[in-house]
Amino acid sequence: MMPSVATGAQMDLSVESHETTLAKLAIADDVYYETLLSRESSNVAESHLDDKTHALVRIGALVAVDAASPGYMWAVERARVRGASGDEIVGCLIAVLPALGVARIVSAAPKLALALGYDVTSGLEDSGEPARR
């Protein structure tokens, strides 16, 4: 049985259940999406994740879509402000590896490293390790 879904002005921002949220997302409820995209606080609240986890999930999403380097800069700063350590941020790569595969992680690692203030290429050259492609 599909839960009733409030749309438009009727929408109550407090999510009653995961089924209601899924229904709103599935029917592309314009007001719900607008709320989630226009107000960061609403997005975090509706996700039911703590601030740090929310920021780490965003990093995982950037990896999944093979985002450009600038996107990582903002996401890493947000994760740091929310209390994520460098190990937790890099851990996002490890967590999504089984789902995304090696090629996607190889592509993301240098971009994430730069956002963390580390140049992987220079680090490999300085250490004497051969840079593998």
The residue assigned the tokens 């592309």 is 28
Model pTM?
0.78
DSSP of 76-98: HHHHHHTT--HHHHHHHHHHHHH
What does the block give as tokens for 56?
């780490």
Per-residue pLDDT tens digits for 54-81: 999 999 999 999 999 999 999 999 999 9
Higher pLDDT, 62 or 14: 62
